[in-house]
Structure 1
Amino acid sequence: MDGGIKENNLYAVARIEYSGSVATNGEGTGNLNATSPDWDPPGCWYAPYLGAKAFKKEMSQEIEDLRNTPGMAGHAGAAIAEMERHYTDEYAFSDTPGYDDYNVDKDGEGMFWAGVENPNEPDLLKRHACSAPPFWVENGEAPPPQYEQAITPEILAALAYQQMALPETDINLAPETTTKVNLPTWIWLDNTVFTPVQATASLNTPGFTLQATTTATPVSLTVEPGTPHAQTHPTSGTCPIQPDGTIGRPYTQGNAEQTPPCGLTYHHSSGTDTYPLQATVTWQINWTGTGNAGGDLPNGTIEETKNITVQEIQSLNR
């Protein structure tokens, strides 16, 4: 848990902990690609920061450091004084109620909340959007409604989604990477890797606990041959998951001329090049969290590309 550290003018507050199938050490992002182009994880949020006494110590030191910084005069000096009045004089500004001596008489009854940046958000505007000064929230109470980006189970679920590390799409092929024109290629996945996966994000501070678990359930495999001169099986190119958790059926000797339940047939040679066969597993995403919250998130995909050589069938004239 981090407290009292400032990054890019936003407070680094209680650290969100990740568990389950997530990116290494809960850092960076996972490998799940959302199918909805309009969906993004939150760029920032507001979360519990410090109790009243600890906040007074932190903020008083920060104000003192700012006053001692060269060039802090004029408008900058006025802004520093205004910030100090906000946390020391409850009635300094009628339109923005402040706090009496940093709320120290309420220490233990609540916490000051502050903005947190999502370190994995590349858009700086989104990361810096939670720029309101730290504000007080009583234990057991919801943050004021104007702070729409206050941390919720749904935000935690979205962050768990961003962190998810799912099994790579590693399809089985027969023939493997070199096949013949008009010879069916069999594709399958077994149920040892094709099972639901979970990731959990949690936030725990004195008097405040939230958690959400995001679950990814595999539903189908979509095959794209990498050339229009091919036929997928089934015709749609989407192979559904079977009741036993598998996709397709393994090739067995003697089935070379049969049509596979999941696969494709190339009708033209790749010549001196290869065809980029793309296999995409679609995962259905839902979440549950504190307070019986829950819902759906956009489906996600994991892709794999294999380079396939397709040769002409050589015939012998006797």
Structure 2
Amino acid sequence: MIRKNSVVVLATGLIFVASAAAHAGPKGSGSSRASGGTDGPDITAGVSRVQITGGAGGGGSKETVKLTPQNSNWEPPACWYEPKTSPKEVKETIESLEPPKRKPKKEKESGTIFDDLEDSNQDIADAVSKQAANAYKDYYQIDKYKKHLDEEGKGMFWEGVKNPDRKDDPEADKCSQHAYWVPEGEKPKDVPLAVSPKVLAEYAYERLPIPRTEISMNPEGRQTVNLDTWVWADKAKFKPVSVTASLDNPELSVTTTATPVSLTLEPGTENARVFPASGKCTDLGEPYKRGKKDRTPPCGVRYLRATGESGSYPLKATLTWKVSWTSTDGDGESLPSGSFSTTRDVTVKEIQSIVRD
């Protein structure tokens, strides 16, 4: 009985190893496949080789936020194809998955049930290994590109990678069907969604280290009916920020830059006036200084009715950022502007006379 259990465990282990091989990427070459897997005949590639510098990371941080594109129909790419695996690695992976050839079975005059069970489990393990090898052959389109498997240094297989922020988006599955062969030094001609300067720029969009929107007000604290409140954003804090996305091979480098351009105010009540009348303040407003009390604020609000002791108005401030990109080859263009908002609860009191510095 002990031997029988051992055989079953061995067979289970062989099946697990063979199945795991279908999820593993080729060794070497820096094709980092921290994730990946098979789904029927398809294999999804894992981590991108795109390097990000100056960014906020996948989920940002406590100090930074992601922009909301003003074009609601625009999204960064869900996936793209990039060079990932060398011919040598593809060849070695497939060879490692192919089950070894076994000698033909001979007729046995007498055998035990354990011998038969061991043979059966080995047949299952070989079948699983062969299935994994066939999945790789299909993914790398070996029937089409077989002649390139011995052409080390003459090209790379381009594979689909998913934007980690959109990996569960059905759009990301558009890059998981097959790998494509691209000769060294040539631009991909028939590769859908191939990595490009624009793809890198759009990917970097989500990594822009945008500081949270904060505003300064004068007067601070409670506001007063019919008294103009100056509102502005600190230009020392809100200044252009950039992220660079790059690949070593092919050599691509793109810098995406966001520049704060306007501050928009929504007072949270109809009983208010905003300055300017559109509520959109260019140049992020102007700090209040002594001697400006008789001037109309270039960016501000005037409340016309008190909130009462227990109430408040939600003053919403939205900072808009203009976004564009440039590349080392001279290309560049604009991307959709983005914004981030903050809301401050404002209480307004009524008073007959005020004194203001």
Q: Place the TM-score, normalised by the shorter chain, in its bin.
A: 0.7 to 0.9
After superposition, residues 123-138 of structure 1 pair within 5 angstroms as 123-138=168-183
After superposition, residues 190-229 of structure 1 pair within 5 angstroms as 190-205=234-249, 208-229=250-271
Q: Does the 8 Å CA contact 2:138/2:178 hold for their aligned counterparts?
A: no
CA deviation string 1:171-221 (max 9, x = no partner): 11011231111111001234312322111111224xx22121101122111
User: Where does the alignment leave 5 or more consecutive residues of structure 2 unmatched?
Assistant: 1-29, 39-43, 101-121
> What's the offset of the Cα at 1:84?
3.4
In structure 1, the residue matched to 2:298 is 261
Secondary structure at the aligned position of 2:149 is classed as helix
The number of residues matched between the two structures is 294
Amino acid at match of 1:251: Y
After superposition, residues 207-286 of structure 1 pair within 5 angstroms as 208-241=250-283, 247-271=284-308, 272-286=310-324
Structure in which a larger fraction of residues adopt helix:
2
- Pair 1:17-2:51 in alignment: yes
- Pair 1:178-2:215 in alignment: no
> What's the offset of the Cα at 1:45?
0.8
Amino acid at match of 2:151: K
In structure 1, the residue matched to 2:96 is 61
Q: Does the 8 Å CA contact 1:183/1:256 hold for their aligned counterparts?
A: no
Structure 1: distance between partners of 2:217 and 2:265: 12
Between stretches 155-164 and 185-194, larger displacement belongs to 185-194
The two structures have a TM-score, normalised by structure 2, of 0.74
User: Where does the alignment leave 5 or more consecutive residues of structure 1 unmatched?
Assistant: 91-96, 242-246
The two structures have a TM-score, normalised by structure 1, of 0.82
Structure 2: distance between partners of 1:84 and 1:194: 52
Q: Does the 8 Å CA contact 2:97/2:133 hold for their aligned counterparts?
A: no
CA change 1:80–1:141 in 2 (3 A) is same
- Pair 1:28-2:63 in alignment: no
Q: Does the 8 Å CA contact 2:48/2:161 hold for their aligned counterparts?
A: no
CA deviation string 1:236-289 (max 9, x = no partner): 111111xxxxx3222234544532111010011112111111111111111112
Q: Does the 8 Å CA contact 1:174/1:185 hold for their aligned counterparts?
A: yes
Secondary structure at the aligned position of 2:96 is classed as helix
Structure 2: distance between partners of 1:176 and 1:144: 60
Secondary structure at the aligned position of 1:212 is classed as strand
1:84 to 137, 157, 161: 137
Structure 2: distance between partners of 1:80 and 1:298: 44
Between stretches 37-46 and 104-113, larger displacement belongs to 104-113
In structure 1, the residue matched to 2:329 is 291
